[in-house]
Amino acid sequence: EPEVLMDGDFPIEVAAAATEKVLAAVYKALSDHHVMLEGTLLKPNMVRSGSESASPADANQIALATVRVLQHTVPCAVPGITFLSGGMSEEEASLALNAINQAPGPRPWSLTFSYGRALQQSCLKAWKGEDANVPQAQAVLMARAQANSLANLGKYAGGAGGEASTASSFVKGYVY
């Protein structure tokens, strides 16, 4: 799970260079240790400008930068890449994944999601820890799951989840 954090005011080009350097090192180490790549998944960040950037990248810019970095570093033997949301809102993450799956050029891997915050944030807000809210929370979760399922296919048009899905889940200085 090599993740380049988005804390800072840097442009997307800086994030792309950092992500490419990290992924190249990961695959060099895997090669040095004779890891069978067909049995692995990669769980990286999407390439985007820093959280405090004066010019935040849109979904298409994120997609092009992300796919370009992957093409430069990830062997085609890797079967899948499951993206982290990196603090993007649920909707931003879904739209970026959708754009990644529509990006031009070769994409020999399955490009999908492994979101935590960007899949459950609005669901948890709907639930509020109360049994009476379980059906509403389940409906919100199903809407997010459907949005990401469509984004995985490059067929998401946007708009799932309402206002709660557009709230950022970014936490400055986030530590695992």
Q: Which residues are catalytic?
A: 1, 43
Q: Which residue has the tokens 């695992």?
A: 176
CA distance 136 to 16: 39
* CA 101 to mean position of chain CA atoms: 12
Backbone angles phi, psi at 110, to 5 degrees: -75, 125
171 SS3 class = coil
Interior CA angle at 151 toward 150 and 154, to 5°?
A: 95
The total number of residues written for the chain in this structure: 176
The answer to whether the beta carbons of residues 109 and 76 sit under 8 Å apart is: yes
Amino acid letter, 130: E
- State the helix-helix crossing angle for 90-100 and 117-127, rounded to 10 degrees: 150
**What residues does 80 pair with on adjacent strands?**
41, 110
